């Protein structure tokens, strides 16, 4: 009888898992998960799932294989059009580009809307630029133009392009920090705008902190609208995302159509700064083997369907597929006729958009990588009533429940989204 190498590998990994669980000595989540989750836990046995409820935060699905959580009610925006004063007559133009993927787009859009409204300037529809040379697109290639313009009606004047008499070379370049404040605009942007008349805006990111603050600002409602109420996918892109999600749900019949999305990209994992070192340094990412062991530890069945944000299959991911055979990348589940356009080259803006929205709509999201993608996917999931975000970590003992790994954005309700939705 021949030996199945995959079964041997799976057996070794299973043994490794128990060794690792016995050695787990600290908790090192991405963003201050060292603090205990609030509330007392009460264990209830339902079928083959261990159900944990903390302050009504989480309810796990009954009868499913694994600790699947139920969605909560979709939240409603706290902002209202009645809170916005009428816009003044336009006194110039603010131009900008959306860059580096949708996790940056939402923040760049919010800052541009805030600046344009404060300056009483017209906002020019942005183009979209990827991180690779040649990856340039029009706004309408990814997002719905009409819905975007309608969302800002009465808040900021939006034009599709600069007037012919204004040259791009005449625009003054201005940089603003993410989550720009009114004081920063007054001190650093308004004088240049008054002098030059038109500006080209760029947002930089001194941190990836998306936690809400207690300090209130007059631009809060505008920021919420810009971040959560302006960008919607154009129909073709939306249909591709929906078809891929439907395919994942079909693969997940044994778990009632539920699936996990994991943000795991090999190129980032290979970065030498990715993993922390030493006993006191928190890890910033987790590899395929660590994710596999983590998901098994919290109770997910090996039949669980997993979607990875990795563009194309890499041999280093086989260790995950050995334990969870239904592990997929985009090339496995995208409609064949769409691959030429949407997978034209690895890491394109279209690929990033697909990842962002699938991770936002999955039943469980696991960020194997820290950063802005995790932070802004979390914001969108909170708004959609999908708080099932599990952050890998090492917690002492082998009996930790799924709620021990809930993202602090959800467990502590400290994400910016909780300031924008009620």
CATH number for the domain including 278? 3.40.50
Q: Identify the pLDDT of residue 172.
A: 95
CA quadruple 30, 233, 249, 306: dihedral positive or negative? negative
With respect to residue 31, please indicate whether it lies within any of the assigned structural domains: no
Between CA 144 and CA 232 the distance in angstroms is 6
Give the DSSP per-residue string, 314-367.
Answer: -GGGHHHHHH-S-EE-HHHHS-GGGHHHHTSSTT-HHHHHHHHHHHHHSSEEEE
Q: Among residues 174, 202, 229, which one ends one of the domains?
A: 229
With respect to residue 284, please indicate whether it lies within any of the assigned structural domains: yes
Q: Identify the pLDDT of residue 40.
A: 28
> What's the whole-number mean pLDDT along residues 61-90?
71
pLDDT tier at 310, thresholds 50, 70, 90: very high
Q: Identify the pLDDT of residue 85.
A: 63
**pLDDT greater at residue 76 or residue 207:** 76
Q: Identify the pLDDT of residue 385.
A: 93
pLDDT > 90? residue 384: yes
pLDDT > 60? residue 76: yes
Do residue 271 and residue 411 come from a single domain?
yes
> What's the whole-number mean pLDDT along residues 311-336?
93
| 128, 97 Cβ separation under 8 angstroms | yes
Burial per residue of 72-111, b for 16 or more beta-carbon CB atoms within 10 angstroms, e otherwise: beebeeebeeeebeebeebebbbbbbbbbbbbbbbbbbbb
| Vertex 322 angle, CA 3 and 319, to 5° | 110
With respect to residue 144, please indicate whether it lies within any of the assigned structural domains: yes
| 258, 64 Cβ separation under 8 angstroms | yes
pLDDT > 80? residue 397: no
With respect to residue 71, please indicate whether it lies within any of the assigned structural domains: no
Between CA 409 and CA 418 the distance in angstroms is 9
Q: Among residues 229, 264, 285, which one ends one of the domains?
A: 229
Do residue 286 and residue 159 come from a single domain?
no
Contacts of 318 (CB under 8 A, 6+ apart): 9, 288
Do residue 175 and residue 308 come from a single domain?
no
Count of CB atoms situated within 10 Å of the CB of 9 = 14
Judging by DSSP bridges, how do beta strands 172-177 and 158-159 pair with one another? unpaired
> What's the whole-number mean pLDDT along residues 337-353?
88
Between CA 352 and CA 373 the distance in angstroms is 10
Do residue 135 and residue 159 come from a single domain?
yes
How many domains does one find in the chain?
Answer: 2
> What's the whole-number mean pLDDT along residues 238-242?
97
Do residue 173 and residue 314 come from a single domain?
no
**pLDDT greater at residue 87 or residue 230:** 230
Do residue 186 and residue 113 come from a single domain?
yes
pLDDT 10s digits, 257-282: 999 999 999 988 887 566 554 455 56
Between CA 288 and CA 264 the distance in angstroms is 8
pLDDT 10s digits, 286-296: 999 999 999 99
Q: Identify the pLDDT of residue 207.
A: 81
> What's the whole-number mean pLDDT along residues 197-202?
95
Q: Identify the pLDDT of residue 412.
A: 93
| 118, 174 Cβ separation under 8 angstroms | no
Between CA 233 and CA 207 the distance in angstroms is 27
Do residue 210 and residue 312 come from a single domain?
no
pLDDT > 80? residue 74: yes
Q: Among residues 168, 203, 229, which one ends one of the domains?
A: 229
| 212, 377 Cβ separation under 8 angstroms | no
Q: Identify the pLDDT of residue 272.
A: 57
Percent of the chain with pLDDT strictly greater than 70: 78
pLDDT tier at 417, thresholds 50, 70, 90: very high
Domain range for residue 143? 93-229
Do residue 243 and residue 223 come from a single domain?
no
Considering the chain, what is the average pLDDT of its residues?
82
pLDDT tier at 103, thresholds 50, 70, 90: very high
> What's the whole-number mean pLDDT along residues 309-327?
93
Do residue 114 and residue 205 come from a single domain?
yes
**pLDDT greater at residue 394 or residue 386:** 386
Select from 154, 171, 153 the least CA-distant residue to 162.
171
With respect to residue 27, please indicate whether it lies within any of the assigned structural domains: no
Do residue 259 and residue 374 come from a single domain?
yes
pLDDT > 50? residue 28: no
Do residue 168 and residue 248 come from a single domain?
no
With respect to residue 44, please indicate whether it lies within any of the assigned structural domains: no
| 293, 16 Cβ separation under 8 angstroms | yes
Burial per residue of 295-310, b for 16 or more beta-carbon CB atoms within 10 angstroms, e otherwise: bbbbbbeeebbbbbbb
| 94, 189 Cβ separation under 8 angstroms | no
With respect to residue 317, please indicate whether it lies within any of the assigned structural domains: yes
pLDDT > 80? residue 16: no
Between CA 237 and CA 235 the distance in angstroms is 6
With respect to residue 66, please indicate whether it lies within any of the assigned structural domains: no
């Amino acid at each position: 009888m021949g030996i199945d190498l995959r079964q041997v590998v799976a057996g070794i990994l299973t043994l490794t898992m128990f060794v690792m669980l016995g050695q787990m000595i600290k908790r090192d989540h991405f963003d201050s998960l060292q603090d205990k989750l609030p509330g007392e836990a009460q264990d209830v046995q339902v079928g083959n799932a261990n159900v944990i409820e903390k302050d009504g935060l989480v309810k796990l699905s009954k009868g499913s294989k694994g600790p699947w959580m139920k969605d909560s009610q979709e939240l409603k925006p706290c902002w209202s059009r009645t809170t916005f004063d009428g816009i003044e007559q336009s006194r110039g133009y603010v131009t900008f580009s959306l860059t580096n993927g949708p996790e940056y787009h939402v923040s760049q859009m919010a800052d541009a809307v805030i600046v344009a409204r404060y300056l009483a300037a017209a906002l020019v529809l942005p183009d979209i630029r990827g991180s690779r040379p040649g990856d340039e697109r029009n706004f309408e290639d990814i997002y719905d133009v009409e819905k975007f313009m309608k969302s800002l009606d009465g808040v900021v004047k939006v034009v599709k392009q600069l007037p012919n008499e204004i040259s791009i070379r005449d625009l003054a370049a201005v940089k603003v920090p993410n989550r720009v404040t009114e004081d920063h605009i007054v001190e650093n942007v308004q004088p240049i705008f008054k002098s030059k008349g038109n500006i080209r805006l760029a947002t930089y990111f001194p941190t990836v902190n998306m936690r809400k603050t207690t300090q209130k600002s007059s631009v809060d409602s505008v920021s919420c609208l810009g971040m959560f109420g302006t960008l919607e996918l154009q129909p073709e892109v939306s249909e591709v995302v929906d078809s891929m999600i439907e395919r994942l749900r079909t693969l997940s019949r044994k778990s009632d159509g539920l699936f996990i999305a994991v943000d795991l990209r090999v190129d980032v994992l290979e970065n030498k700064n990715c993993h922390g070192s030493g006993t006191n340094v928190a890890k910033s990412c987790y590899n395929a083997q660590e994710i596999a062991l983590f998901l098994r530890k919290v109770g997910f069945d090996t039949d669980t369907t997993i979607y990875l944000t990795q563009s194309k299959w890499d041999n280093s991911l086989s260790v995950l597929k050995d334990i969870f055979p239904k592990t997929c990348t985009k090339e496995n589940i995208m409609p064949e006729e769409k691959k030429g356009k949407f997978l034209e080259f690895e890491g394109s803006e279209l690929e990033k958009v697909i990842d962002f929205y699938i991770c936002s709509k999955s039943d469980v999201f696991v960020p194997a990588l820290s950063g802005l993608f995790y932070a802004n996917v979390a914001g969108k999931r909170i708004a959609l009533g999908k708080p099932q975000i599990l952050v890998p970590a090492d917690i002492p003992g082998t009996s930790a429940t799924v709620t021990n790994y809930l993202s602090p954005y959800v467990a502590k309700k400290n994400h910016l989204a909780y300031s924008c939705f009620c």
